[in-house]
Amino acid sequence: MSNTMLILLLLVLVLHQLAHSQKKSRPNILFVFSDDHAPHAIGAYDGWLGSINPTPAIDRLAEEGMIFVNSFCSNSICGPSRAVIQTGKHSHKNGFMNNGNSFNWNQQTFPKLLQKAGYQTAIYGKSHLKGKPLGYDDWAVLPGQGLYFNPDLIFPDGIRRVDGHCTDVVTDLAIDWLRNKRDLDRPFMLMVQHKAPHRNWMPALRHLPLYNDVYIPEPTTLFDKWIDNAPGARVQELEIDRHMDLNYDLFLDLTPDFTQLSSEKSQDRSAWRNMKRMTSGQLATWRNHFGPLDRNFHLNGKTGKELVRWKFQRYAKNYLRCVKGVDESLERMQQELTQLGLEENTIVIYSSDQGFYIGDHGWYDKRWMYEESLKMPLIVKWPGVVKPGTKELEMVQNLDYAQTFLEIAGAPLPDDMQGRSLVPLLKGMFPENWRKEIYYHYYEYPSVHMVPRHYGIRTKRYKLMHFYQFGEEWEMYDLKVDPDELNNIYGKKNFAEIQKNLTERLFKLRKFYDDDSDTSIRTEYIEKYRRKS
């Protein structure tokens, strides 16, 4: 062999070794993502529900990594939040503004870009974006909202039923992928997407006894009357009092024929679909748990505020029982990483698509720009990089996830993404010109719960919201002195300069993100009501 050939051979070997080394050194990403999990239902966030220790595994993740205290969504509803994460673009840019839309899977998404960078990608669980997911080497997703018990899942080769509780089913699929489908020579990004704790809050049967003898602390705003809010807050349809159905939401006396009249004009009947899906054994266990509680309810005959309190207790317990399943899933996934020798080179992320009202302001669900639904959990463990037990106070959004994943992978960051990579924050740096405010825009009206469309700005201290659909309604809050947002200071003389400054900043943000989508919405409604009149 000539010297030239020998040198070329050595060069090829060196390059191959470098490439192999790079693949091995790039971290894997495990992204565990739940639905409607409010930060104040996580112990590590020190919320009012933290005292009952609902999330020991998630709390340990925070102890081992970084918890983002000021983490926010850009549109507080399931599908749009996921579309923002996929694209790194606000709803008006990615085209998925409300749950009635269909996501354009042909557009640029971060999983596709990760694939180009050499990552193996997989997603299991709730997608809620319609269509078959693109950008994934393997996947199995729930159709629509999916079911809690014995759910159907859409696989690349078709739809099939998988028996069990949905949280366990999704976790099992993810673990099977790690054990049997993973390419050992490539880094991976695995998304484990849970339905829980989404309405109708149906926990695994083993968790039904949880909290039976525990009094769940009530939020201080459980009996809020929304006196200082814009009119939309008083005509919504998400109150525990008037809109949470005793049968379909709380399973009181839910009979096999499911003939009960509902309290809502557009009742969520997923409880009915789930119970019809149960096996006889599952249904018997369910009824054996709730039957004695139902009889006790009828014996005591609750009305007024006492009825609201009873409804809150049953709702909150079922919600937290669903959370328990998600917490166990995270624990199982981390144990699997350890057993496979992947723990030290895998970033583990826990998040949820938005926050949720667990009786706060007398509500359930999300949608509003108020704190309980605007805030979303974000906890990141990155061995060797993130200092354990770190609390990050800078303002971040789901808008930032895509660019964060790409920078972790060493992939190029597209110019048209609208977020910012969180990698500098994860590394303990203080980036120059980090955002001083976040932008929010909610679109889904008219729809279930009847929350009007609105947009707004939140800084570290203040919040300004514009409800634009039926006129000019504004709300402004000083979050430092009024964290529950009970005192609307918009239009108050003492806050005139702050209001002017926030308004200017809001419209600069709208220009920065190129959002004039409300203009067409206003025109649409003006024309609609003109024709009616």
Q: What is the dihedral of CA 320, 270, 441, 461, to 10 degrees?
A: -20
Q: What is the average pLDDT score of the chain?
A: 92
Only one residue has tokens 């006889």, namely: 280
Q: What local confidence, expressed as pLDDT, does residue 13 receive?
A: 52
* Residue range 67-84, pLDDT digits in tens: 999 999 999 999 999 999
Contact status, residue 239 vs residue 357, Cβ threshold 8 Å: no
428 by DSSP, 3-state: which? coil
* Residue range 245-270, pLDDT digits in tens: 998 899 998 665 666 666 666 667 78
| DSSP label of 363 | B
* Residue range 183-227, pLDDT digits in tens: 999 999 999 999 999 999 999 999 999 999 999 999 999 999 999
Measured CA to CA, the distance from residue 45 to residue 361 in angstroms comes to 19
Measured CA to CA, the distance from residue 261 to residue 68 in angstroms comes to 43
Q: What local confidence, expressed as pLDDT, does residue 50 receive?
A: 82
Domains detected in the chain: 37-202+323-427 (3.40.720.10), 205-314 (no CATH), 440-532 (3.30.1120.10)
355 by DSSP, 3-state: which? coil
Contact status, residue 452 vs residue 467, Cβ threshold 8 Å: yes
Give the confidence band of 412 by pLDDT, cuts at 50, 70, 90. Answer: very high
Phi, psi angles (nearest 5°) of residue 395:
-80, 125
Tokens of 16: 């191959």
Phi, psi angles (nearest 5°) of residue 380:
-130, 125
Q: Which residue has the higher pLDDT, 23 or 435?
A: 435
Model confidence, pTM: 0.93
Only one residue has tokens 């009249």, namely: 261
DSSP result, 6-50: HHHHHHHHHHHHHHHHHHHHSPEEEEEEESS--GGGSGGGT-TTG
